[in-house]
Every structure is written in C-alpha cells, then in structure tokens.
Chain A
Amino acid sequence: MSIWEYANPKKFMQTSGLVLPWVAGLSALCIVAGLVWGFFLTPDDYRQGSTVKIIYLHVPSAMMAINAWGMMLVTSLIWLVRRHHVSALAAKAAAPVGLTFTVIALVTGAFWGQPMWGTWWAWDPRLTSFLILTLFYLGYIALWQAVEDPDTAADLTAVLCLVGSVFALLSRYAVLFWNQGLHQGASLSLDKKENVADVFWVPLVVCIAGFVLLFLTLVLVRTRTEIRARRLSALLARERMA
C-alpha cells in the first residue's frame, strides 16, 4: 500500500468518508474540553491576570495558521512535481481555513496586546510577518478565483505558495532573529524554564489538538467538495458537447 493511492479521487473519497465523522467528533470534543478547562478551571496568571485565558485561542490558531500554509506548501509541491489533482485541490481547500485561523490569531492577539502592551498593534517583526502571511492567504484565494483553467490556477497558486512560505517561516522564527519586538518567545518549549506553567500547559495542549483536528476535518470536507465540484463541471461540459 502506498500513500499515492490517495491521489486517486475515488480512493480519497472512500477513505475520507470513513475517517471524517471520527475526526470531526474528536475535534469537537477536544476543543470544548480544552476551552472549558482553560476558561473555567485555570487560575489567573500573576502578571497577566485573566488575559492568560486568551492563550487557549491565540496560540493554537496562530500555530495552525502557519502549519496550514506548511501543509499547502507540501501539497503544492506534490502538484508541481507529480501532477496529482487531489493534492492541488487539498491546497485550495485549506486556504480559507488557514485564513480563518490567521484572522483569529490577529484579533485575539490585538485583544491581548491592548491591556498588556498598551497598544492593539505594533510593527513588531512577528506581527508584521504574520500580517503579510494574511495578505498572502487573501492573494492565494483570489488567484484561484481569478484563473479560469484549473490546472493553470493550480500552477500559479503553487508558485505563490512557495513565495509566501518565507513569511510563514518568519512568523514562527522572527522572535529568534530580532530582539526588538514586543512579542514574547514560544509559549511551548522543551526547555522547562521557557515553557508555560503546567496548570496552563495541559489545557493548552488539548486545545492545540482540537484545532489540529478541526483543521483536518475542514480540509477533508472542503477537499471532498472540490473533488465533487470538479466532477460536476466535467459532467456539465460533456453534457454541453453532446
């Protein structure tokens, strides 16, 4: 058995149809459990007060905003190299989901930043590269809509995805390159001193798992829709020619 079997739309539809209810259910369970735990059952932080509760939304959404672009990069490369249509459609399907996570991260970051930094926004390296990543998401979605031929659209958006990956990487690692930013370092670290306290860490990890599964659920749902839409347009074209 090979992973390339799933490049066959029929095989992808069969397998994703079986997996989808489980992934969706587990995602809902993790998100509800993580958020209820984090909101109601964790204490305030000694410096940040109750704003620490924003961490359960901000960190998972920011993480998924960047990882979604990473997933789009991998599927775009598969399209460019192996010309598997399902991978191009999966990248297309992931973009609006990634954009949603990006907007959540920006909005919750602004709500968190205002009381902590005294400003809604700062031209900090991490924030700025994240804003540029948002613009890349918008451009990517617009490019898919603007080009009529689906294969050409897949080619052009794949190239755009490669370029945008620079900003996805910068969003994650900018705090390591530049010290002058307001944004703190990573909340999750293998270094015990840098990691958030255990009382916040456990519900945060549950929320992250929920957001990962939510992303997977939505990408599967949307990829299935894209495959059906492609088949629909092929059948309609055949009908017109008959």
Chain B
Amino acid sequence: MMPDLGKYAFAVLASYGVSVLLVLGIVVLSVWQGARVRRALAEVEARQGKTDG
C-alpha cells in the first residue's frame, strides 16, 4: 500500500508531516478561540439578559 519513495522518502514524508501538523494547529486554534469567546459572550449576555446577534 505504501508507495516506494526511495531516496526521497525523508523529503516527502517530512513535507506531509509538517503540513498536516500546521493545518491541524490552525484548525484547533481557531475552533478553541471560537469556543472560548462564545462561552464568555454567553456568560455576559446571560448576566445582562441579552441574546447573541
């Protein structure tokens, strides 16, 4: 199943590894920041009796 990458195995696998890590990093960071702000906003709105727009 795994293709024979020959002498270029390091270059190819490192490219895929670093790219996957960076993409996962920005996705997780964006979702985490979004959840954190949404929670904080919900708390303040509940305190002030308002709803999210």
> What is the interface of chain A, defined by CB distance below 8 A to chain B?
9-10, 13, 35, 39-40, 44, 49-51, 53-54, 57-58, 61, 96-97, 100, 103-104, 107-108, 111-112, 114-115, 214, 218, 221-222, 224-225, 228-229, 231-232, 235-236, 238-239
What residues on B are CB-neighbors of A218 within 8 Å? 26-27, 30
Nearest residue (CB) in A for B26 is A100
Residue from the list B8, B18, B37, B47 in contact with A108, Cβ < 8 A:
B18
- Is A228 touching B52 in the complex (CB atoms < 8 A)? yes
- Distance to closest chain A CB from B4 (angstroms): 8
Number of interface residues of B (CB under 8 A): 36
Residue from the list A9, A13, A103, A221 in contact with B30, Cβ < 8 A:
A221
A-contacting residues, B16-53, CB 8 Å: 16, 18-19, 22-23, 25-27, 29-31, 33-34, 37-38, 40-41, 44-45, 47-48, 50, 52-53
- Distance to closest chain B CB from A38 (angstroms): 10
- Distance to closest chain B CB from A214 (angstroms): 7
Give the interface SS of chain A, mostly helix, strand, loop or mixed.
Answer: helix
What residues on B are CB-neighbors of A103 within 8 Å? 22
User: A97–B29 Cα gap in the complex (Å)?
Assistant: 11
What residues on B are CB-neighbors of A96 within 8 Å? 26, 29
What residues on A are CB-neighbors of B29 within 8 Å? 96
What residues on A are CB-neighbors of B44 within 8 Å? 232, 235-236, 239
- Is B11 touching A214 in the complex (CB atoms < 8 A)? no
